[in-house]
């Protein structure tokens, strides 16, 4: 099969081995895949990953032990746990020490014509959700994870720091719980998208006076967490959504003095993400910057790394 391989450099391989599904897994033909900031960090050395990157996708099941899945259009959760260890038995499989992670750790990902995932990871996509929208399910689920970890009431003030694709998704998700959401960023065009959604926006250069009970770091930058801590009100909560390859130096004294809670936040629930897309509660079409085919995958990654980019999608195959 064709695959976009990262082995220290990014290159298209035309005869990459098609994945062999293990027992309990499905073989999925990838229709479209999204480029995430994590993919760009992998190229910079994050997780020391070698193989096929990509973890945001929509595809069609070609083979599965459960025949009901064959032919279904699906998206998939990216963590593949052992399902035997103590954490798995406690329902915390996304933290399984033996897990593989699609396109990130020990498992080839979605920048290829085929991928393999456990059948239990797959979710059937409603007919009302387009292929382009379905590509956003995984990052949108990550945004919904915030609501599982932090109680948000309608009188809370929440700041989402970072106006990239995840920040725009997180701001919309937070806006379903409180009208007092501010998206802070540095790109007027991207902030304008949030404004169209009815979300208050602010340029980072004008945000020094902002204090909020909840601050979500979606900057994807080494300095984002420090900025988020500086914006948190006393006894506030900072939710950390950024994964960054670079090491950072953090001033922890404000965390102690102001009794700020730091919450690491990663993958989230697919069901509310699919429902939000089905009902139009969250809009993603304005977040699509460009579309490339798989043969131009390296160019897609380069485009996704540009400062003005939002979601870049790789069209892998037709339905």
Give the CA distances from residue 179 to residues 21, 49, 55, 155, 215, in Å, rounded to whole numbers and listed in that order. 45, 40, 31, 8, 15
- Angle CA(121)–CA(87)–CA(39) in degrees, nearest 5? 50
Whether residue 247 is predicted with pLDDT greater than 80 in this model: the reply is no
Kindly report, residue by residue over 106-162, the tens digit of the pLDDT: 999 999 999 999 999 999 999 999 999 999 999 999 999 999 999 999 999 999 999
Kindly report, residue by residue over 230-239, the tens digit of the pLDDT: 999 999 999 9
Partners of 100 in the β-ladder:
80
Q: Which residues contact 25 (CB under 8 A, 6 or more apart)?
A: 64, 65, 116, 117, 118, 119
Mean pLDDT of the region 90-97: 95
The reported pTM is 0.95
Answer yes or no: are the C-beta atoms of 199 and 172 closer than 8 Å.
Answer: yes
Whether residue 245 is predicted with pLDDT greater than 70 in this model: the reply is no
Quote the distance between the C-alpha of residue 90 and its chain's center: 24
- What are the structural domains, with CATH classification, of the chain? 3-136+284-315 (3.90.180.10), 140-264 (3.40.50.720)
Whether residue 41 is predicted with pLDDT greater than 70 in this model: the reply is yes
Residue with tokens 């456990």: 118
| CA-atom Rg of the chain in angstroms | 19
pLDDT of residue 209: 84
Percent of the chain past pLDDT 70, that is, above it, reads 100
* Residue of higher predicted confidence among 243 and 147: 147
24 is written with which tokens? 């309990």
């Amino acid at each position: 099969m064709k695959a976009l391989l990262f082995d220290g450099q990014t290159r298209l391989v035309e005869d990459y081995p098609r994945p062999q599904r293990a027992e309990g897994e499905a073989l999925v033909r990838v229709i479209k895949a999204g480029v995430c900031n994590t993919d760009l960090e992998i190229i910079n050395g994050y997780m020391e990953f070698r193989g096929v990157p990509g973890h945001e996708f929509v595809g069609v099941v070609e083979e599965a032990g459960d025949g009901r899945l064959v032919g279904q259009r699906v998206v998939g959760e990216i963590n593949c746990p052992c399902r035997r260890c103590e954490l798995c038995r406690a329902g915390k499989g996304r933290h399984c020490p033996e897990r593989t992670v699609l396109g990130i750790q020990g498992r080839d990902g979605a920048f290829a014509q085929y991928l393999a995932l456990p059948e239990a990871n797959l979710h059937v996509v409603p007919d009302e959700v387009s292929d382009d929208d379905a590509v956003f399910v995984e990052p949108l689920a990550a945004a919904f994870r915030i609501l599982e970890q932090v109680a948000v009431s309608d009188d809370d003030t929440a700041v989402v720091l970072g106006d990239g694709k995840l920040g725009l998704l997180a701001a919309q998700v937070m806006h379903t719980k409180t009208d007092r959401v501010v998206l802070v960023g540095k790109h007027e065009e991207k902030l304008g998208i949030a404004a169209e959604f009815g979300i208050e926006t602010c340029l980072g250069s004008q945000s020094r006076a902002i204090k909020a009970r909840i601050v979500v770091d979606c900057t994807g930058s080494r300095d984002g967490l420090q900025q988020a801590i500086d914006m948190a009100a006393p006894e506030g909560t900072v939710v950390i959504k950024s994964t960054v390859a670079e090491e950072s130096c953090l001033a922890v004294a404000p965390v102690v003095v102001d009794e700020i809670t730091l919450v690491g936040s990663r993958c989230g629930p697919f069901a509310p993400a699919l429902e939000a897309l089905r009902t139009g509660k969250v809009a993603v079409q304005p977040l699509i910057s460009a579309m490339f085919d798989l043969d131009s995958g390296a160019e897609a990654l380069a485009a996704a790394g540009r400062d003005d980019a939002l979601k870049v999608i790789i069209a892998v195959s037709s339905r």
